Chain A
């Protein structure tokens, strides 16, 4: 590797041989000439001279810093309100044993007040966020049957859905599997100044999911009929393709902390508006001490609030500037001839090799 720096950028390997074009000979022993067989195909390989390196770093820096700034600004424009409620929505008396409370039949209605910090342009998206919930667990993520969800004729197709495949008397559960069974069932109602804010729940799932993955003629049956109730119930008269909460839930998250779209509020929210939320705190995250958060957020052209992209661009851009600068200094202070063989290891200490 040590002589790489000295290698030229020409394609011709070793020009020491005879340069004359091979004369056509009669001998059949002679292989046919082609640029490929003689390894003479044109090629180029950049040499990393100081000038090139500095220039490249500069260009990257110049390109990246503005991109970083713009995406950071876009992210800053997004207004996001997060309200964590899983502890606050348990009555103080029951907080020693939250699991028992959530599994009891007591009323779990809970009211929250959210102050809008900044003007929020419609649509305002409503998310619920769960922490420490492993939708990516192997046993969980596989526990569904896409055929059954899509086609009415495949209703009894419940393979891979264990243990939530059939009712004890053998009837197939539609939709089967752990994912559907554990459907999130907290509900939120919003009001501003005593006037209800409607939450639009149409079009919160992917279009492709609605159209192609969940059938229009597949209706839930035998769902949540067992002894163990996982999460929400489904209306048996609505086809799966219309059950958008289910569709959203069944697109499993890759990480244990995730947000899922609950609905959209189709009006602007003004600064200092106070929003009352009445929520049914039904879902059990207490067994595994998971957090539950309610999120209201607007979007920008770059999506939701996320500073990471901007920071990443700025960091790389800044680093490139820094490197360009330091290389320039090194180049000016201590220049060095390109491909100087005296720097090779065996030339540094003659005799010993």
Chain B
């Protein structure tokens, strides 16, 4: 469903879309009692207790005072209702605060201060520096002459760096006055929850001369809950409001997770209930028979001659009441209480505080602690989870010469330093690509030092390394980029940025040297995304070797390349790129295709190798958990070689004589099938041997395997204790979790980045590492910890304690009530 938004039109779009009123509340004052009671009574246990309590009101059959059941029942209901009410009240308060916040909005051509909840779709909202964005806006003006503004999106995706946002081309250069009167139509899709996509179009209406359709992307929007930073003011058109914003759509309560113990208790309760019914029927029948035959003879009881019609029911119901304590009313409440205590113990634990950031661990989900002790499979991310995710530029290979091989640090390599001072053109170009081809934003701190804000750790590492090698990225001002090299300042104009996507696996920039006017394309990317596009004459063998060699050492590699672009070629291509960027359907794919047309015949400059250190205690943790009978799977988006190397260095797999690594590969169905069969065969043979067998599969083969050979792959998954899956996408990670869950295994997923969120949510237990890739994973997770090594304590100490305690508590609870009840039965 498409939306047509008329900018600044007070009449037409008034009632078409909801106002900007946030509501996260579950209840209102009126419906709280019925709705809450209904929710509580939809649980079997509560229904049962209500039935018993009602029966007790009938004095003919009750053995005890009804208050003895109603009291606890009302207490328990009151406790959970109060908890719900309190939560809801807090939600109401925070909604109210957000709704009543005052913002500047243009109404009838005049800027007015209104409450945030009165913002309508189509209104122009003005923001000042450090304001929170009240709804999803399409940017139309900023204080910056280049039309750039900076936003902090931490509340949205957990990333702490500043992101740049641009005003659309059509609005470029409008002044203050004009922005009050602007009229136009924005065409955009209906509300969705994808915070990385916004495919819209803007057309300004006359009197604005520019009649072209102007494409809008996520780059032109500022979303609700972001903060405006480093920009004096900005204004935008509200496109999604209230609960229809991107943030509002992503909100939602995830399905509650049920632990194995809970499921067991529910089963037991059901069984006991059946037993109870049997007891009641047997004893009730016996009682009725006795009454018919014997009771008349007991003259002292003086039975009346005639009975009311319900007489037959009386004795069974009395037995039912006597047996009602068989199912302990207290168990739910006591379990909830102890579970929240377990969670507190995790929060409190001194040994799970990250010493660097001083962040304690946190249990977001208080209900599943005992499941920690039941974990059979751990699926872990690599980057940032097993490794530090602190990238350091270590080695490089420029034009076939390896630097940094001897010292292990290219920055101190004399050869490289000499090459720079002597001005070797390859090396200079290499450094230029390192410094220019990125999305890093340099920011000057008060002390004058340059801080780099980057979305990707790799880019930050490259820019830092370039800076140390005298190629300093000084300033990035809209499209002009300044670089200081050996005292001289070079200026480049960035014409286009061909962004990185996980499909393309490379990014490029088209820059114009301000001095000479030459246009060139600078690219960097994964080896398989760069090397095949090298121009025909170049020998890429040395680079392949370099990549090979570096990934053997567990380093992350990137290939850098460049090529000169003729002015005509650029102009022609630029038109196509513009057209592709403004399509509404399949924009991403179209852009990729257009980019492809420019990224060919590249001159490969060299290979960079970046080290990502293992976190402390990772090998020990993995070994201990492995000894505890837990199987490990590593799911990573990284290259196969790097993944295997990391796996070796952290005890994930054993080296050759002890361990065996089987690989599933192939590009076609047949190849994958054959390779899968072969691996399965080996697995079946080796299960009896004390040998660590692991398999490696890459994303491509995995997709084929999951699609066509699901059964065989499932068998493989059951047989193998270790697996490495490389080059997998977030959704494949989630699929693998599903696969293991479908075999009735308890799974734990641990990760740190946004690409792990889906896997974390899918798994029985999700653990997030509150690391450098932001807090996204930690937010979605049930538990967040600071370092991978805390997983050991989380599972082996807290998990085990919780499990033992819950088991004891529930067993004791049932034992006690059954015992009391058997006295009654006898």
A30 x B297 contact (CB < 8 A)? no
- A339 is an interface residue with CB less than 8 A from chain B: no
Contact (Cβ within 8 A) A14 B796: yes
- Bound state CA distance, A30 and B361, in angstroms? 10
Instruction: Give Cα A14 to B801, complex, Å.
Output: 11
**Does B300 contact A140, Cβ atoms closer than 8 Å?**
yes
Question: Do A182 and B348 touch across chains, with their CB atoms under 8 A apart?
Answer: no
Mask of A130-150 contacts with B, CB within 8 angstroms, 1/0: 000110011110000000000
Which of A33-41, A207-215, A319-327 is found at the contact surface with chain B? A33-41
Please report the C-alpha to C-alpha distance between residue A194 and residue B210 in the assembled complex, in whole angstroms: 138
Contact check: which of A14, A163, A351 meets B797 at CB < 8 Å?
A: A14
> Contacts A13-B797, A27-B358, A346-B629 known; A38 to B300 CB distance under 8 Å?
no
A230 within 8 A of B: yes
Interface check A334, CB cutoff 8 A: no
Q: Given that A14-B796, A30-B358, A31-B360 are contacting pairs, would A39 and B301 also be in contact in the complex, using a CB cutoff of 8 Å? A: no
CB distance from B721 to the nearest CB of A (A): 10
Contact A288 B796 (CB under 8 A): no
B651-709 residues with Cβ-Cβ distance < 8 A to A are 687-688, 690
Are A287 and B348 CB-contacts (below 8 A) given A13-B797, A25-B358, A30-B360?
Answer: no
1/0 contact string of A219-252 vs chain B (CB within 8 Å) = 0000000001010000000000000000000000
B281: min CB distance to chain A, Å: 19
Given A27-B358, A350-B690, residue A33 in contact with residue B297 (CB < 8 A) = no
Are A288 and B298 touching (Cβ within 8 A)?
yes
What is the 8 Å Cβ interface bit string for chain B, positions 348-381, against chain A (1 contact, 0 not)?
1111010000111000000000000000000000
CA distance A332 to B347 in the complex (A): 49
A38-B348 in contact given A14-B793, A288-B294 (Cβ < 8 Å)? yes
Interface residues of B in 207-245 (CB under 8 A from A): none
- Chain A residues with CB under 8 Å of B359's CB are 29
- Decide if B304 is an interface residue (CB 8 Å cutoff): yes
- Whether B823 is near chain A, meaning CB under 8 Å from some CB there, is no
Given contacts A14-B797, A288-B294, A353-B629, contact A164 B349 (CB under 8 A): no
Interface flags, B290-318, vs A, CB<8A=1, else 0? 00001001111111100000000000001
A-contact bits for B787-815, CB 8 A (1 contact / 0 none):
00000110011000100000000000000
Q: Is B104 an interface residue (CB 8 A)?
A: no
The answer on a CB contact under 8 Å between B347 and A17 is no
* A14-B797, A137-B301 known; A39-B350 Cβ under 8 A: no
**Chain A neighbourhood of B348, CB < 8 A:** 31, 37-38
* Distance in angstroms between the alpha carbons of A140 and B303 in the assembled complex: 10
In the bound complex, CA of A276 to CA of B224 (Å): 105
Is there an interface contact between A287 and B299, defined as CB atoms closer than 8 Å? yes
Let me know if B345 is at the binding interface, CB within 8 A: yes
Nearest residue, chain B, Cβ from A139: B301
* Nearest-CB residue, chain B, relative to A19: B351
Residue pair B629, A38 in contact (C-beta under 8 Å): no
Q: Does A303 contact B (CB under 8 A)?
A: no
B300 in complex: contacting residue of A17, A18, A37, A230, CB < 8 Å: A230
The answer to whether A281 has its CB under 8 Å from any CB of chain B is: no
The residue on B at minimum CB distance from A26 is B358
A178 touching B300, Cβ below 8 Å? yes
Residue of A22, A138, A140 with highest tally of chain B CB at under 10 A: A138
CB distance from A181 to the nearest CB of B (A): 8
Among residues of A, the one whose C-beta sits closest to the C-beta of B314 is: A138
List residues of chain A with CB within 8 A of the CB of B294.
Answer: 288
B residues less than 8 Å from A27 (CB atoms): 358
Q: Which residues of A contact B801 (CB under 8 A)?
A: 13, 39
Check B360 against A134 for contact (C-beta < 8 Å): no
Are A287 and B304 neighbours in the complex by a CB distance under 8 Å?
no
Contact mask for chain A residues 293-308; partner B; CB cutoff 8 A; 1 contact, 0 none? 0000000000000000
Asked if A75 CB lies within 8 Å of chain B CBs, one says no
How far, in whole Å, are A69 and B37 apart by their CA atoms in the complex?
61
CA distance A346 to B630 in the complex (A): 13
**A22 partner residues in chain B, CB cutoff 8 A:** 350
Q: Tell me, rounded to whole Å, the shortest Cβ–Cβ distance linking B794 to chain A.
A: 11
A133 to B792, CA, bound (A): 66
Which residues 268-319 in A have Cβ within 8 Å of B in the complex? 284, 287-289
Inside 8 A of B298's CB, which chain A residues have their CB?
A: 134, 137, 287-288
Interface string of B736-748 (1 = CB under 8 A from A): 0000000000000
How far apart sit A178 and B353, CA to CA, in the bound complex (Å)?
72
Could you mark each residue 321-359 of chain B with 1 if its beta carbon is under 8 Å from any beta carbon of chain A, else 0?
A: 000000000000000000000001101111101000011
Set of chain A residues within 8 Å of B796, measured between Cβ atoms: 14
Least distance between A329 CB and chain B CB atoms (Å) = 32
Q: A30 touching B353 by the CB < 8 A rule?
A: yes
Give complex CA distance A182, B360 in Å: 74
B360 to A37, Cβ gap below 8 A? no
Least CB separation from B344: chain A residue: A37
| Highest count of chain B CB atoms <10 Å: which of A17, A351, A353 | A17
Contacting residues, chain B, for A13 (C-beta < 8 A): 797, 801
A27-65 vs B, Cβ < 8 Å mask (1 yes, 0 no): 101110100011100000000000000000000000000
Chain A, Cβ-Cβ closest to B304: A163
**Contact digits for B583-597, partner A, Cβ 8 Å, 1 yes 0 no:** 000000000000000
Which one of B299, B300, B303, B358 has the highest number of Cβ atoms from chain A below 10 Å of its Cβ? B300
Which of A29, A133, A230 is the most central at the interface, judged by chain B CB atoms within 10 Å of its CB?
A29
**Docked CA distance A39–B629 (Å):** 25
A286 to B268 alpha-carbon distance, docked (Å): 48
Closest beta carbon of chain B to A318's beta carbon, Å: 26
**Which residues 702-735 in B have Cβ within 8 Å of A in the complex?**
none
State whether B793 touches A164 (Cβ < 8 A). Answer: no
Interchain CA distance A263-B298 in the complex, whole Å: 27
The 8 A CB mask of B260-272 against A (1 = contact, 0 = none) is: 0000000000000
Give A181 to B301 CA distance when docked, in angstroms. 10
Asked if B350 and A164 make an inter-chain contact with CB atoms under 8 angstroms apart, the answer reads no
Q: A16–B797 Cα gap in the complex (Å)? A: 10
Q: Which residues of B contact A14 (CB under 8 A)?
A: 793, 796-797
Q: Is the CB of A17 within 8 A of B360?
A: no
Shortest C-beta distance, A102 to chain B (Å), equals 11
Instruction: Report the Cα distance A31→B353, complex, angstroms.
Output: 10
Q: How many Å lie between the Cα of A350 and that of B687 in the bound state?
A: 10
Q: How far is the CA of A228 from the CA of B302 in the complex (A)?
A: 10
CB-CB under 8 A from A18, the residues of chain B are 351
Please measure, in the bound complex, the distance between the C-alpha atom of A25 and the C-alpha atom of B359, giving whole angstroms: 12
Q: Are A29 and B360 in contact (CB under 8 A)?
A: yes
**Residue numbers in A under 8 Å from B688 (CB-CB):** 351
Asked if B351 and A31 sit within 8 Å, CB to CB, the answer is no
Partner of A284, one of B299, B792, B793: B299
A351: min CB distance to chain B, Å:
6
Taken together as a complex, chains A and B put the C-alpha atoms of A39 and B349 apart, in Å, by 8
The verdict on A38 contacting B349 (CB below 8 Å), with A29-B360, A351-B687 known, is yes
**Scoring B residues 57 to 81 as 1 if CB is less than 8 Å from chain A, else 0, what string do you get?**
0000000000000000000000000
Q: In whole angstroms, how far apart are the Cα atoms of A288 and B301 in the complex?
A: 12
B297 touches A288 (CB 8 A): yes
Q: Is the CB of B345 within 8 A of A182?
A: no
Q: State whether A178 touches B350 (Cβ < 8 A).
A: no
A249 to B533, CA, bound (A): 108
Q: Apart from A39-B801, A287-B297, A350-B690, what are 8 other A-B pairs with CB-CB below 8 Å? A: A14-B796, A25-B358, A30-B353, A139-B301, A139-B302, A140-B300, A163-B302, A287-B299
CB within 8 Å of B: which residues of A? Answer: 13-14, 16-18, 22, 25, 27, 29-31, 33, 37-39, 133-134, 137-140, 163-164, 178, 181-182, 228, 230, 284, 287-289, 346, 350-351, 353
9 A–B contacts, CB within 8 A, in A order: A13-B801, A17-B351, A29-B360, A31-B348, A133-B300, A138-B318, A140-B301, A287-B298, A289-B297
What are the 10 A-B residue pairs with the smallest beta carbon separation, nearest first? A17-B351, A37-B348, A182-B300, A288-B297, A27-B358, A287-B297, A31-B348, A14-B797, A287-B299, A139-B301
Name B's A-contacting residues (CB within 8 A). Answer: 294, 297-304, 318, 344-345, 347-351, 353, 358-360, 629, 687-688, 690, 792-793, 796-797, 801
